[in-house]
Amino acid sequence: MSEALNILKEVFGYPAFRGQQAEVIAHLANGGDCLVLMPTGGGKSLCYQIPALLRNGVAIVVSPLIALMQNQVTALHEIGVRAAVLNSSLSQQEAMQVEQRLLANQYDLLYVAPERLLTARFLNLIARIPLALFAIDEAHCVSQWGHDFRPEYIQLSILHKRFPEVPRIALTATADMETRKEIIERLGLDIAKIFVSSFDRPNIRYQIVDKTNSRSQLLTFIQAEHPGDAGIVYCLSRKKVEETTLWLKKQGLHAVAYHAGMSMQQRSMNQEKFLREEGVVMVATIAFGMGIDKPDVRFVAHLDLPKSIEGYYQETGRAGRDGQAANAWMAYGLGDVIQLRRMIQESDAQLKFKQVSARKLEAMLSLCETTNCRRIRMLSYFGEIIDTMGCGNCDTCLNPPKVWDATVEVQKAMSCVYRTGQIFGAGHLIDVLRGNLTARVKEWHHDRISTFAIGEKLPEKTWRAIFRQIVALGLLTTDSEGHGALHLTEASRAVLKGQQSVYLRQQTRTERLSGKRSDDDPMPLDSAERYLWEQLRLWRAKIAKEHGVPAYVIFHDATLHELVRLRPQTEEELSQVTGVGARKLDKYGHHLVEILRGS
Ligand code: ADP
Ligand code: ZN
């Protein structure tokens, strides 16, 4: 094991293993199969990269996304590891060259797309050389219920049949039990050792606000908390992605778009921009993000409700991989609930699929409506119980919502639904309740019914929140035609009869949350430090440009912070800094010491 630690220090420049890395590496290096469940940013790559260097032969890494394989390989080259990709981005000649080098045992790691790996040609090829291991990254892609399903992944079970003596490691950041079971079953990992890490991401602050005008709420959030930061904004539809991008651009932000309707070329151009330039806001559908390993994404914003907690957790998990403070922000309203329920109802999926989807949505809704700690709620959804009153770093902990007895108001809302014939949406119902004499109210003579104006004391905003919550709670439901018309449900009866009280959460205030910053936050810099920091960033940008790689491939922000704080004056001292391995010391040590001494 000391050899593994040596590699960690020498090659990767890190002083110690994180979490279960050491155990996973030992198990795999000894030839055991394993399934590793670790949150995004947990350090999954090292779990197979180090065994790849420890074991004889080449490690074959299966990864679903071409662009991102290249990033990994580029980063490995930077630290002097022999790695390559084999996928459809290569010309035939390039691919031949990789194959020849592979046969000549010139690689420690080879990244392949699943469809390439499964070809008879490739399987025969690797049968001729010593194999260190198989790593199956993003293993949740075997799950048919998940949103990243890749049919080819299911066939990966062939690896074990064909190469029974080669150890396999499957990795994922998807934590729920159902997916876990599916991975084990489909990849034939029943005898594999399972390593489950805590899925907590303490540096991410979760915040879910009531949607009023989501765009301007988003802008306020970015301007107040993340000026100049890189972030991802998720929207449900392609159209909304495009509109939001345009609008953010008009507001002066450097925003780019990404969705499956764009050309491949446009998509990869925008993705590159996001990865390479600083402070870019990526507006995207969930088509974007799997495998994105940009460490300094400072926020993830959702303008629409995700379909499940798994999705939400995975998307928000793309923030703050570097362990520094990051924000997960979401605006959510009644429209989201209606839209997603409708999408499930209308889909022509099988009944079982609909049921699973509906259950997942309900869990997501209850996360939105909870008055308790969001983090505890999510972790317990993944089967992880943390023994604390609250995390201290989510909106409900920092600004606890009050609950109020809304039974009477809910009864008024329900009887208004009933009296108007269960064919109207929340907008009209609120007009009736508030006594607004709109054209529609007059047309239907709703100013003559008993519920007209019985809710005029409450502002429209409050009524919206009431409707949203009672729909989320299942006390009202929407019609299947999809016009948002609200109906009473079985559950409405007890409330209407006064047999059941309803407690709702009061509006959360949307102003900026103040509260403790994460322990990992860099301390504010004084002016000399700021100067040094800027110098180091300029130097890093120059090198990155010369090498044609994103700045973080040269050094992470965390490494630059440490340099500013410790000011190492010799190469020896420099080698102690996190993220400075032998190769980087060799290449950059001289220059860095010059900059540091001069400051
Ligand atoms: P994951 O694939 O689990 O999302 P990565 O493997 O990309 O995470 O690792 C996240 C970041 O943490 C990377 O920048 C990686 O270099 C860094 N990292 C991983 N292990 C360690 C460690 N033991 N010490 C310091 N940094 C680490
Ligand atoms: Zn909390």
The mean per-residue pLDDT over the stretch 467-482 comes to: 79
Indicate if 318 and 349 belong to the same structural domain: yes
Indicate if 184 and 242 belong to the same structural domain: no
Is 70 exceeded by the pLDDT of residue 308?
Answer: yes
Task: Specify the higher pLDDT residue, 127 or 401.
Answer: 127
The per-residue pLDDT for 509 is: 56
Which ligand ends up closest to the CA of 45? 1
Of 196, 223, 244, the last residue of a domain is 196
The mean per-residue pLDDT over the stretch 148-163 comes to: 91
Indicate if 409 and 386 belong to the same structural domain: no
- CATH at residue 431: 1.10.10.10
Is 70 exceeded by the pLDDT of residue 523?
Answer: no
Q: Provide the pLDDT confidence category of residue 183 given band limits of 50, 70 and 90.
A: very high
- CATH at residue 553: 1.10.150.80
Is 50 exceeded by the pLDDT of residue 239?
Answer: yes
Is 50 exceeded by the pLDDT of residue 518?
Answer: no
Of 398, 431, 463, the last residue of a domain is 398
Is 70 exceeded by the pLDDT of residue 465?
Answer: yes
Q: Is 131 helix (H, G, I), strand (E, B) or coil?
A: strand
> Is 520 within a domain?
no
Which ligand ends up closest to the CA of 15? 1
C-alpha distances out from residue 49 to 111, 123, 137, 554, Å: 11, 21, 12, 18
Indicate if 235 and 348 belong to the same structural domain: yes
Is 80 exceeded by the pLDDT of residue 150?
Answer: yes
Is 70 exceeded by the pLDDT of residue 596?
Answer: yes
Task: Specify the higher pLDDT residue, 567 or 175.
Answer: 567
> Is 351 within a domain?
yes
The domain in which residue 486 lies consists of: 403-505
422, 485 Cβ separation under 8 angstroms = yes
293 C-beta closer than 6 A to ligand 1: yes
Q: Provide the pLDDT confidence category of residue 441 given band limits of 50, 70 and 90.
A: very high
Is 70 exceeded by the pLDDT of residue 467?
Answer: yes
The per-residue pLDDT for 435 is: 95
- CATH at residue 33: 3.40.50.300
Could you tell me which residues are beta bridge partners of residue 171? 36
Query: Which three-class secondary structure string do you get for 410-461?
Result: HHHHHHHHHHCCCCCCHHHHHHHHHCCCCHHHHHCCHHHCCCCCCCCCCCHH
Indicate if 385 and 410 belong to the same structural domain: no
Indicate if 418 and 543 belong to the same structural domain: no
581 C-beta closer than 6 A to ligand 1: no
Indicate if 89 and 184 belong to the same structural domain: yes
> Is 521 within a domain?
no
The per-residue pLDDT for 512 is: 55
Indicate if 289 and 381 belong to the same structural domain: yes
Q: Provide the pLDDT confidence category of residue 513 given band limits of 50, 70 and 90.
A: low
DSSP 20: T
- The rounded percent of the chain whose pLDDT value lies above 90 is 63
Cα of 321 vs centre of ligand 1, distance in Å, is: 8
> Using CA atoms, how far apart are residues 431 and 434, in angstroms rounded to an integer?
5
The mean per-residue pLDDT over the stretch 546-570 comes to: 89
CA 141 from chain centre, in angstroms, equals 15
Is 70 exceeded by the pLDDT of residue 209?
Answer: yes
Mutate to test the pocket of ligand 1, among 18, 25, 195, 549 (most ligand atoms within 8 A of CB): 18
> Is 578 within a domain?
yes
Number of domains in the chain: 4
Is 60 exceeded by the pLDDT of residue 511?
Answer: no
Indicate if 110 and 7 belong to the same structural domain: yes
CA distance between the termini of the chain: 40
Angle CA 296–299–302, to nearest 5: 140
Indicate if 333 and 421 belong to the same structural domain: no
Q: Provide the pLDDT confidence category of residue 474 given band limits of 50, 70 and 90.
A: confident
> Is 510 within a domain?
no
Q: Provide the pLDDT confidence category of residue 438 given band limits of 50, 70 and 90.
A: very high
User: Which residues 6+ apart lie within 8 Å of 213 measured at CB?
Assistant: none
Cα of 516 vs centre of ligand 2, distance in Å, is: 12
Q: Provide the pLDDT confidence category of residue 524 given band limits of 50, 70 and 90.
A: low
> Is 115 within a domain?
yes
- The rounded percent of the chain whose pLDDT value lies above 70 is 96
> Is 53 within a domain?
yes
Task: Specify the higher pLDDT residue, 328 or 389.
Answer: 328
The per-residue pLDDT for 519 is: 45
Mutate to test the pocket of ligand 1, among 17, 46, 292 (most ligand atoms within 8 A of CB): 46
> Using CA atoms, how far apart are residues 551 and 230, in angstroms rounded to an integer?
13
Mutate to test the pocket of ligand 1, among 6, 12, 73 (most ligand atoms within 8 A of CB): 12
The per-residue pLDDT for 516 is: 43
* pTM of the predicted model as reported, rounded to 2 decimal places: 0.80
> Is 515 within a domain?
no
Among 240-249, 422-431, 546-555, the range scoring the smallest mean pLDDT is 546-555
Cα of 342 vs centre of ligand 2, distance in Å, is: 31
83, 132 Cβ separation under 8 angstroms = no
83, 77 Cβ separation under 8 angstroms = yes
Of 505, 538, 556, the last residue of a domain is 505
The per-residue pLDDT for 428 is: 94
Indicate if 242 and 359 belong to the same structural domain: yes
Q: Which atom of ligand 1 is nearest to the CA of 39?
A: 3
Which residue's CA is minimally distant from atom 27 of ligand 1?
43
Q: What is the DSSP string of 568-584?
A: --SHHHHTTSTT--HHH
At residue 476, φ and ψ (nearest 5 deg) are -135, 160
> Tokens for 37?
């469940």
Is 50 exceeded by the pLDDT of residue 520?
Answer: no
When the pLDDT of each residue in the chain is averaged and rounded to a whole number, the result is 90
> Tokens for 361?
């949505």
38 C-beta closer than 6 A to ligand 1: yes
Dihedral of alpha carbons 448, 451, 457, 463, sign: negative
Indicate if 377 and 334 belong to the same structural domain: yes
Is 80 exceeded by the pLDDT of residue 249?
Answer: yes
Q: Provide the pLDDT confidence category of residue 517 given band limits of 50, 70 and 90.
A: very low
